[in-house]
Amino acid sequence: MAKILLLYHGIYGHTRKICEAIAEELERQGLASDLDEIANAAAARPEAYETVVIGAAIRNGKHNPLVIEFIRNNLDLLEARRSAFFSVNLVARKPEKNTAETNPYVKAFLERSPWKPGLVGVFAGNLDYQRYTFMDRHIIRFIMTLTGGPTDLHTKVEFTDWERVRRFAGQVRDLACSAPV
Ligand SMILES: Cc1cc2nc3c(=O)[nH]c(=O)nc-3n(C[C@H](O)[C@H](O)[C@H](O)COP(=O)(O)O)c2cc1C
């Protein structure tokens, strides 16, 4: 059976929640997977897997340096496996910015990344002002002001389209079951 590792980086738990939904759908389709934070990647032993999926949230315009570092340090490993990447951000709540081809963070990531994943996804994230630290609340509120999003500090909204997440999981399954790279 194809072995799949899901590695993620996020701060407030939503990227993990998306990974869990992918893992659940994979399981429903008969494929086992393991899930871990990218900070624990060495202990997760990515070399033991045939397929590696990396999910990362955007914070202040960037994917976390840990993600970039992992990719740089494990380029040979990633290139020798089937691999997929997805980004989670709030800009992707806009229909015209919710694909790998149109999301500015994914476009910038792919332009700069030496790793060319076999599958790329992007999902709209979560907005829950009351969960954030004082600083984060005001940073994200500023971003929402600039991008025309909700600024009421009681807003709690999941912009994620879970059906798209499940479709992506199906694509991960197809990738994992395809011929070895
Ligand atoms: C402090 C902070 C900064 C953020 N910066 C951006 C940003 O620059 N662009 C964007 O599209 N989303 C931004 N987001 C939205 C997150 O990407 C989104 O909330 C995501 O669901 C967070 O995932 P997590 O719960 O795994 O951390 C930011 C969120 C926070 C809390």
Decide whether any atom of ligand 1 lies within 6 Å of the 57 Cβ: yes
What is the pTM assigned to this prediction?
0.97
Instruction: Dig out the tokens for 10 from the structure.
Output: 């996020």
For residue 117, which phi and psi values (nearest 5 degrees)?
-60, 150
The pLDDT assigned to 2 comes to: 65
> Residue 16's domain is classified under what CATH number?
3.40.50.360
> What's residue 31's pLDDT?
96
- Measure 91 CA to ligand 1 centroid, in angstroms: 9
**Given ligand 1 and candidates 140, 155, 162, which is best to mutate, with the most ligand atoms within 8 Å of its CB?**
140
Identify whether the C-beta of residue 99 lies closer than 8 Å to the C-beta of residue 135: no
Do 81 and 26 fall within a single domain?
A: yes
Give the integer Cα–Cα distance in Å for 154 and 87: 25
Do 84 and 115 sit in the same domain of this protein?
yes
Q: Which atom of ligand 1 is nearest to the CA of 13?
A: 25
* Domain total of the chain: 2
Q: Is 147 in the pocket of ligand 1 (CB under 6 A)?
A: no
Range of the domain at 136: 127-159
Q: Is residue 181 part of a domain?
A: no
18 lines ligand 1 (CB under 6 A): no
* Predicted pLDDT at 179: 79
Annotate 7-21 with b (16+ C-beta within 10 A) or e (fewer): bbbbebebbbbbbeb
Q: What is the pLDDT of residue 180?
A: 78
C-beta of residue 132 within 8 angstroms of C-beta of residue 99: no
Q: Are residues 81 and 118 in the same domain?
A: yes
Closest CA to 36 of 79, 65, 4: 4
**Distance, CA 14 to ligand 1 centroid (Å)?**
9
Residue ranges for the chain with pLDDT beneath 70: 1-2
